[in-house]
Amino acid sequence: MEGLRRRSVLLLAGGGVGILATGVSPAAPASAGRPASVGGQASTSRQASAGRSASGDLILDWNAALLRIVRTAGAQPPTIHPTRSFAMLHKAMDNAVVAAPGAATAGAAAAAAGHGVLVALHPASTGQLDDLFQSQLAALPAGPGRAAGERTGRAIALAMVRSRAADGSGATPPVLPPGTAPGEYRPTPPAFAAPVFTHWAGVRPFVLRSAGQFGVAPYPRLTGDTYAAALEEVRMAGRDAGSNRTPDQTEMARFWAAPIWNYWNEIAAELVRNTGAGLHRAAAVFAELNLAIADSVIAFYAAKYAHRIWRPVTAIRLADTDHNPATTADPAWNPLATTPADPSYPGAHSVVSQAAALVLRRTLGDRPAAVTSEALPGVTRTFRHLQDVADEAGLSRIFAGVHTRIDHWAGQHLGFNVGRYALAHATAHGRPLAAA
């Protein structure tokens, strides 16, 4: 297996090959474990210790550095999705530790790979990234091994950046004309902003064969009972005032309002700490997680812009045009949260969360989690299983008024298929990651 990993280490991105995984419903295997306290605060660099060179903390430090960057206003290019940066960072570090023999060599390789990728993607943060890199090198034994690791990591970072230079992420997002027919997406209040990431379905995936490899089912008929029930649910539970939400559901809606991939990287960081994962294991887990998340984002944008379904605020305000006698028009209806500027179907939180939960269950095992939120500081929500986290994150968007249950169901199905495919094809990236 080690020979296979080394031979495949420079398979950096794109075009995973193999058997097409068939779609099945998500499942949540139960197991006991100690709760993972997952915070919205980035982890800090640790002081040098005897075991630092083999510690998973080195990987966590770079993950925290990228979280700080993407949480800084204006630091992330507006037309480049941040999940691409997470996937590039972590796959480069995973490749580096696989390619570098010896603890000090692997640590230096991972640090150099992380530094090289993030400086290339976020040059304005070079000073902070340099400081982190130097502090990590200082914690490793000096000598030929460390120098060799640095060279390996820099070469892998450069290869990663070059391999993604023409992946389609730099394309100019095409203008999406607003819909006019019932069910068709159109910009939403209050800003009526143009839809975002209209080009992202054209980005080359990291593992999937294509953005549309796993689609979603056709949207239900607007005149049917399924659509009417889903719209009525969000009309009553998701409105800004006068809703039938419970206080807990209101908290849930606000709790999950930040970028969903940030939560899952924080969850993974605490699980890695609590399981005592070493450098190689931590690198592998974060690589697999973020490859799956990045491809799930490419896949859901492909689905969103293929179906172009209107958001609940539009559907409720214009319900008198959908030819369904069971829906009720409310021209003054507003959601609890601001509606994202993209089509409704499928739900992004549901796609990403299902893919992430599946990967973490299979790589680190299922376990309880205590999650905090950058959107609602000071609040912790606890869960028995990682699947419970994924379920709540997706359903929260109904209570926020920005998605229907139809979007959630389709999102979970798509996320499960993407996550399972990423796990099944991990050998193409050098290691099988399913937990024993």
Q: pLDDT band at 103, cuts 50/70/90?
A: confident
Asked if residue 383 lies in contact with residue 397, where contact means CB atoms within 8 angstroms, the answer is: no
pLDDT higher than 60, residue 43 = no
For the chain, give me the number of helices (H) and strands (E)?
14, 3
Q: Give the N- to C-terminal CA distance of the chain in Å, as an integer.
A: 15
Asked if residue 202 lies in contact with residue 87, where contact means CB atoms within 8 angstroms, the answer is: no
pLDDT higher than 90, residue 48 = no
Higher pLDDT, 425 or 17: 425
pLDDT value at residue 104? 82
Cα–Cα distance, 173 to 179 (Å, whole number): 18
Q: pLDDT band at 426, cuts 50/70/90?
A: low
CATH of 2-41+178-429, one of 3.50.50.60, 1.10.606.20, 3.60.20.10, 3.40.50.300: 1.10.606.20
Whole-number Cα distances in Å, 107 to 111, 120, 128, 219:
6, 20, 19, 48
Handedness of CA 294, 297, 303, 305 (dihedral sign): negative
- 251-265 mean pLDDT: 98
- 183-191 mean pLDDT: 98
The percent helix, strand, coil of the chain (3-state, each to 5) is 55, 5, 45
Which residues share a beta bridge with 239?
A: 335
Tokens found for residue 254: 């606000």
Element (H, E) at 391: helix 386-399
Cα–Cα distance, 392 to 246 (Å, whole number): 14
Cα–Cα distance, 226 to 230 (Å, whole number): 6
Q: pLDDT band at 54, cuts 50/70/90?
A: low
- 340-361 mean pLDDT: 98
- Structural domain boundaries of the chain? 2-41+178-429
- Concatenating the DSSP letter of every residue in 50-62 gives TTGGGBTHHHHHH
- 115-141 mean pLDDT: 97
- 272-296 mean pLDDT: 96
pLDDT value at residue 208? 97
Q: What is the pLDDT of residues 3-31, one digit of tens each?
A: 334 433 433 333 332 222 223 333 333 33
pLDDT value at residue 13? 34
- 203-220 mean pLDDT: 97
Q: Quick check: helix, strand or coil at residue 216?
A: coil
Which residues share a beta bridge with 382?
A: 370
Cα–Cα distance, 58 to 114 (Å, whole number): 10
Question: Minimal CA–CA distance to 216: which of 389, 399, 354?
Answer: 354
Q: Quick check: helix, strand or coil at residue 8?
A: coil
Phi, psi of 249 (to 5 degrees): -70, -35
pLDDT above 90 as % of the chain: 83
Tokens found for residue 201: 């379905």
Q: What is the pLDDT of residues 372-405, one digit of tens each?
A: 999 999 999 999 999 999 999 999 999 999 999 9
CA atoms within 13 A on the CB side of 326: 13
pLDDT value at residue 206? 97
pLDDT value at residue 55? 86
Which residues share a beta bridge with 369?
A: 36, 383
Q: Kindly report the average pLDDT of the chain as a whole number.
A: 88
Tokens found for residue 210: 């294509």
Where would I find the H helices in 100-164? 103-121, 126-138, 144-163
Which residues share a beta bridge with 380?
A: 372
CA 213 to chain CA centroid, Å, is 18
Count of other CB atoms within 10 angstroms of residue 41: 12
Query: pTM of the full predicted structure?
Result: 0.88
- Concatenating the DSSP letter of every residue in 318-347 gives TGGGS--TT----TT--BSSPPPSS--SS-
Q: pLDDT band at 187, cuts 50/70/90?
A: very high
Tokens found for residue 260: 């969903």
pLDDT higher than 70, residue 355 = yes
Residues sharing a CB contact under 8 Å with residue 391, sequence separation 6 or more, in sequence order: none
